[in-house]
Amino acid sequence: MDKEIISIELRQQQDYCFKASFGGTLPELLCDEPPPMGSGLGPSPVQLLCSAVANCLSDSLLFALRKYKQAPEPLSCRVSAEVGRNAEGRLRVLAMQAQLHLGVPAAQLQHLDRVLAQFESFCTVTQSVGQGFPVEVQVWDADAQRLK
């Protein structure tokens, strides 16, 4: 099994505001908690988690479709996280819902049933966080037809 170590570095700027460095030539990202705890100067940790799930699902769907030489662009994805208290009264992400939208009608894409049946299994982030809480994934086409 191949292993890879992915590292980032956080440096506190003030209070709950941190600058995230990803290495190389990638731009740094300011992260912060929303008020009243932080100042909301950047995305919160939960927003970053939602972004990671959305990005990974979108990448996986695009990769699966392109394997069949399909052009679904432009793709979009919205992820919502349900945040609430666990049994110990601590805030946790309890569930997520992802809605992926294809940029074209389903009728324009070949092998779509096969793609929809397998693309999630290639999503590293969603499969990982899904071990901790449920992640519901929906796919819609450009004609607002729910495909999954």
If asked whether residues 5 and 71 sit together in one domain, one would say no
Q: Sorting pLDDT into bands at 50, 70 and 90, what band is 2?
A: confident
Which domain covers residue 66, as residue numbers? 45-140
If asked whether residues 95 and 75 sit together in one domain, one would say yes
Amino acid 38: pLDDT: 94
Its pTM stands at 0.93
If asked whether residues 27 and 12 sit together in one domain, one would say yes
Amino acid 52: pLDDT: 98
Summarised one tens digit per residue, pLDDT across range 63-116 is 999 999 999 999 999 999 999 999 999 999 999 999 999 999 999 999 999 999
Count of domains in the chain? 2
If asked whether residues 102 and 134 sit together in one domain, one would say yes
User: Is position 61 within any domain?
Assistant: yes
- Kindly provide the b/e burial profile for residues 20-49, where b requires at least 16 CB atoms within 10 angstroms of the residue's own CB: beeeeeeeeeebbbeeeebeebbbbebeeb
